[in-house]
Amino acid sequence: MDTTILGIESSCDDTSASVIRNGVMLSNVIASQAVHEAFGGVVPELASRAHQQNIIPVVSEALKRAGVDKSELSAVAFTRGPGLMGSLLVGTSFAKGFSAALNIPMIEVNHLQAHVLAHFIKENEVDKDQPSFPFLCLLVSGGNSQIIKVNSYKDMEVIGQTIDDAAGEAFDKCAKVMGLPYPGGPVIDRLAKDGNPDAFRFNKPHIPGYNYSFSGLKTSFLYLLRDSLKKNDRFIEENKTDLCASLQRTIVEILMDKLRKAAKDLGIKEVAVAGGVSANSAVRKAFEDHAVKYGWKIHVPKFSFTTDNAAMVAITGYYKYLDKDFCSMDTAPFARVEL
């Protein structure tokens, strides 16, 4: 019998719904929220209102594109957390209503686990390039920077994580002080293509183990701008591409240094990357270089699966469904939840 899962993602500022049948993606609809651009960051209240407006049309569209009637659904999976409480509440409440109305089970999904399992979304029956266990996953987004040892679909160990800012936050905050629009990561990536990555040097953290820190880099970047602007008030304009390229190089080096150390220490050569920052061209290039130099088998997601999407929620829901890992109607969202 077919297993058909509807996935719902509403943890931050993207409303998304996806239908996955027997592990194969049939649809993945994402409505992004442009309303936040003017504010230089996501405004939680506006995000939850937009989710409320978007959720029904997005789910209808996902079912329509999949060619699936709601009576064919086996279960509804939704992001329980981490994320913005008001945003999570919309997806969670919708999933509850849907599950009750259709009398189908409900599956709670951890957003971080979903980012990792995005590597198992099949886009067609013959799509085979999936990681084998155990593998390491560098999860880098606006809110997280973690190295995860993935032992199975369910068993994941965080072996390193940021002690302050996330990598995406470092991109976004440094972009903000340069006067670039939000989110700054993709803008820095674009500008960096025309810059010299050796033009400026920034401090790299010296912390033990596989943990990350990006707050020192942010401060060092800020001080360079402050001191240079005193001498030349056109410093940012004149050096924008070099600043972006040098910053990006440093962030990628910090990420890869620890990941390489973890891979070496654990003797794991199967390495994946996930989360919004995995869209970054220098991160992707670094993975390709490591594959050649260290014999890694790498897994880099398609761009559409790097940022928040419901296909990753649906695939996680699919594996949980096979284990009959359902949740009850009293499940409430969690703004903060560990992997």
For residue 313, the minimal CB distance to ligand KG4 (Å) is 12
For residue 181, the minimal CB distance to ligand KG4 (Å) is 11
Pairwise CA distance, residues 7 & 317, whole Å: 7
Q: Output the six-digit token pair for 276.
A: 């919004």
Residue where the block lists tokens 């190089």: 249
Which residue ranges make up the annotated binding site for substrate?
139-143, 172, 185, 189, 280
User: For ligand KG4, which is the closer residue by CB, 105 or 185?
Assistant: 185
Q: Is the peptide bond before 82 cis (omega within 30 degrees of 0)?
A: yes
Beta pairing class for 75-81 and 24-32 = unpaired
For residue 187, the minimal CB distance to ligand KG4 (Å) is 8
Pairwise CA distance, residues 192 & 200, whole Å: 13
User: For ligand KG4, which is the closer residue by CB, 174 or 327?
Assistant: 174
Cβ–Cβ under 8 Å, residues 326 and 108? no
Pairwise CA distance, residues 246 & 58, whole Å: 40
Which residue ranges make up the annotated binding site for Fe cation?
111, 115, 308
For residue 191, the minimal CB distance to ligand KG4 (Å) is 11
User: For ligand KG4, which is the closer residue by CB, 79 or 99?
Assistant: 79
Which residues make up the interface to ligand KG4 (CB under 6 A)?
A: 12, 141-143, 168, 171-172, 183-186, 189, 275-277, 279-280, 307-308
User: For ligand KG4, which is the closer residue by CB, 27 or 280?
Assistant: 280
User: For ligand KG4, which is the closer residue by CB, 185 or 317?
Assistant: 185
For residue 307, the minimal CB distance to ligand KG4 (Å) is 4
Q: Output the six-digit token pair for 235.
A: 């410093």
Other beta carbons within 10 angstroms of residue 95's beta carbon come to: 30
Which residue ranges make up the annotated binding site?
111, 115, 139-143, 172, 185, 189, 280, 308
Residue where the block lists tokens 């990753």: 312
Pairwise CA distance, residues 211 & 158, whole Å: 10
